[in-house]
């Protein structure tokens, strides 16, 4: 898929104020500093697109971009907390949880994980919660250029091992990316194109 047109739509504080259009959503989320803005800029080939989401007052909002007049790229607030299981939901950004659990347009969430780090509790807890909602997602390992492919792969294997007990039959899809080299960009776009077709 080629990204031809990118337009900022809106910043929504909650599910009720998300766009009412029928366009499907593809959302991006991850721990602060995971490389989300860089990845969104690399995907759209717009240098400062995700900056919109970093403007004061917007970092806690759900930022919607319309791509090719056809789908929404949704830049979700980064998480920076530890308790996200269903019982401890209050500690999670309530609007984001509500969006992920209940937004009908949402077709896939790209969950960003830093490939330079061993499995982080915060990511695992978030994934466990996300898995419990039944929302489809893909794991996107970021910053792969920062170390050798072998080391990145070792962290990915550790991560897979941690989550295998939750998905004994089929692990979620995994894409390895670098916003510096552009690696993985086409894989993300291919997932979106495939999902739009099905
Ligand atoms: P965000 O907080 O998740 O939006 O993260 P940013 O996109 O702002 O990136 C955080 C830091 O990681 C910045 O210093 C980026 O330059 C750096 N970074 C992001 N993506 C990559 C990448 O693919 N490779 C490398 N080497 N650095 C990256």
DSSP labels, the chain: -----EEEEEEESSGGGS--SS--EEEEEEBTTSSHHHHHHHHHT-TTTTHHHHSTTTTTSEEEEEETTTEEEEEPPPB--S--SGGGGGGS-HHHHHHHHH-TTEEEEEEEEETTSSPPHHHHHHHHHHHHHT--EEEEEE-GGGS-HHHHHHHHHHHHHHHTTT-SS-PPEEEE--TTT-TTHHHHHHHHHHHHH-
Q: Residue 83 pLDDT > 50, yes or no?
A: no
Atom 19, ligand 1: residue with shortest CA distance: 35
What is the pLDDT, as a whole number, of residue 63? 93
Interface predicted TM-score of the whole assembly (ipTM), two decimals: 0.99
Cα dihedral angle (178, 181, 187, 188), rounded to 10 degrees? 60
Q: Residue 20 pLDDT > 50, yes or no?
A: yes
Average pLDDT for 15-28: 96
Closest CA to 70 of 196, 191, 198, 188: 196
Return the top range by mean pLDDT from 27-36, 54-63, 175-184. Answer: 175-184
Average pLDDT for 86-115: 83
Percent of the chain with pLDDT over 90: 71
Average pLDDT for 91-95: 70
| Residues constituting the chain | 198
Q: Residue 180 pLDDT > 90, yes or no?
A: yes
Q: How many angstroms separate the alpha carbon of residue 142 from the centre of ligand 1? A: 8
Q: How many angstroms separate the alpha carbon of residue 32 from the centre of ligand 1? A: 10
Higher pLDDT, 143 or 51: 143
How much is the pTM? 0.92
- Cα separation of 20 and 60, whole Å? 20
Q: How many angstroms separate the alpha carbon of residue 34 from the centre of ligand 1? A: 6
Average pLDDT for 64-92: 73
| Residue pLDDT, tens place only, 122-172 | 899 889 889 989 999 999 999 999 999 999 999 999 999 999 888 877 888
Q: Residue 87 pLDDT > 50, yes or no?
A: no
Least confident piece of the model among 18-22, 84-88, 93-97, 109-113? 84-88
Closest approach atom of ligand 1 to CA 179? 23
Q: Residue 119 pLDDT > 60, yes or no?
A: yes
What is the pLDDT, as a whole number, of residue 60? 78
Label residue 15 by pLDDT band (50, 70, 90): very high
Q: Residue 4 is encoded by which pair of tokens?
A: 């031809």
Q: How many angstroms separate the alpha carbon of residue 94 from the centre of ligand 1? A: 26
Q: Residue 194 pLDDT > 80, yes or no?
A: yes
Ligand 1 mutation pick, 28, 29, 35, max ligand atoms within 8 A of CB = 35
């Amino acid at each position: 898929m080629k990204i031809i047109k990118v337009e900022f739509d809106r910043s929504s504080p909650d599910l009720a104020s998300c766009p009412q259009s029928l366009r499907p959503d593809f959302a991006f989320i991850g721990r602060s500093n995971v490389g989300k803005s860089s990845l969104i800029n690399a995907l759209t080939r717009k240098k400062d697109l995700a900056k919109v989401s970093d403007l004061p007052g917007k970092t806690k909002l759900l930022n919607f971009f319309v791509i090719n007049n056809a789908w929404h790229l949704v830049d979700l607030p980064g998480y920076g907390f530890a308790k996200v299981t269903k019982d401890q939901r209050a500690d999670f950004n309530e609007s984001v949880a509500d969006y992920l659990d209940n937004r009908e347009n949402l077709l896939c969430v790209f969950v960003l994980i830093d490939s330079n780090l061993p499995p982080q509790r915060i990511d695992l807890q978030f994934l466990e919660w996300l898995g419990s909602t039944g929302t489809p997602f893909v794991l996107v390992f970021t910053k792969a250029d920062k170390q050798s492919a072998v080391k990145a792969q070792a962290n990915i294997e550790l991560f897979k091992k941690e989550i295998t007990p939750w998905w004994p039959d089929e692990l979620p899809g995994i894409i390895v990316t670098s916003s510096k080299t552009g690696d993985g960009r086409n894989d993300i776009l291919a997932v979106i194109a495939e999902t739009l077709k099905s």
